[in-house]
Homo-oligomer: A and B are copies of this chain.
């Protein structure tokens, strides 16, 4: 099953000419989910060929502008291009009021429904489930209420073992019943337990999106052993003081988090505009966690 993340923007508050503010597209089995939506996100999606009408859910980490100023424009364009399918938006309190005020000011209503989900609970909890994924919100530690999101695929039923099919030649109907959870009885009425028929399902993959935050043990448990971890790394250690003051992380700190929680792979992003070249940020992280990559725009990371 496809499960990957496309980086559409990864700069921090001040957009640089070639670096847009935070936005990521998560693709699970060709279902589209958006993580944050900084200014210019819709143009980035055009640039990278993302069919944005397919997006069903948008998860906003917090209400600093570099994480949501592109949302109203995206919704507007979805409307103008004829969208009718509802969309769900998850965020800390306040976003619904902002979006609705702007829609009212234009004296127009959208052709599609927005389901606003305001996240108020200050602890790890599930906020969304559909056919493909479950999503948990986890509070992180920033200057204003901010949530990280953990996206995990739903467990899939394992395949029917080849040996069973060869031996019993079951009907299609029987196979569907087995997949649905029933045991199997052969022509003589003998039970063949389902557990002997079905192969082990592939392990569940998880992607964690953690921005903006200072490193904090409060969210470590929620992201333990994730296959892919995006963690903000606004600064290098040289600016650690600034990171502490602004409740952001350094590249070293992001790498240390990845190491502590046993992430398989780390992507770092949310780079301060002061860094023209990102090489030193990557080098710093790799010293502590070798399997680190930069969240550069247009890159696609598989969750595996």
Give the B-binding residues of A (Cβ under 8 A): 13-17, 20, 39-40, 42-43, 46-47, 63-66, 69-70, 72-73, 76-77, 80-81, 94-95, 97-98, 101-102, 105-107, 143-144
Contacts and interface: CB of A to CB of B under 8 A. Distances in A.
16 contacts: A14-B80, A15-B42, A15-B77, A17-B46, A39-B40, A39-B73, A63-B106, A65-B72, A65-B73, A65-B102, A69-B69, A69-B73, A95-B105, A97-B101, A106-B144, A107-B144
Contacts of A76: 13, 65-66, 69
Number of copies: 2
Given A15-B73, A65-B102, 11 more contacts: A13-B80, A14-B77, A14-B81, A39-B42, A39-B43, A39-B70, A39-B73, A64-B106, A94-B105, A95-B105, A107-B143
A65 B39 CA distance: 13
Contacts of A20: 43
Contacts of A16: 46
Contacts of A13: 76-77, 80
A252 to B, nearest CB: 24
Contacts of A17: 43, 46-47
A44 to B, nearest CB: 10
A104 to B, nearest CB: 8
A144 B72 CA distance: 18
Contacts of A39: 39-40, 42-43, 69-70, 73
Contacts of A64: 106
A98 B94 CA distance: 12
Nearest to A143: B107
A231 to B, nearest CB: 22
Given A101-B101, A106-B63, A143-B107, A72 B69 contact: yes
A143 B105 CA distance: 12
Contacts of A43: 15, 17, 20, 39-40
A73 B81 CA distance: 24
Contacts of A97: 101
Contacts of A101: 97-98, 101
A98 B105 contact: yes
Contacts of A98: 98, 101-102, 105
Nearest to A144: B107
Nearest to A47: B17
A90 B188 CA distance: 85
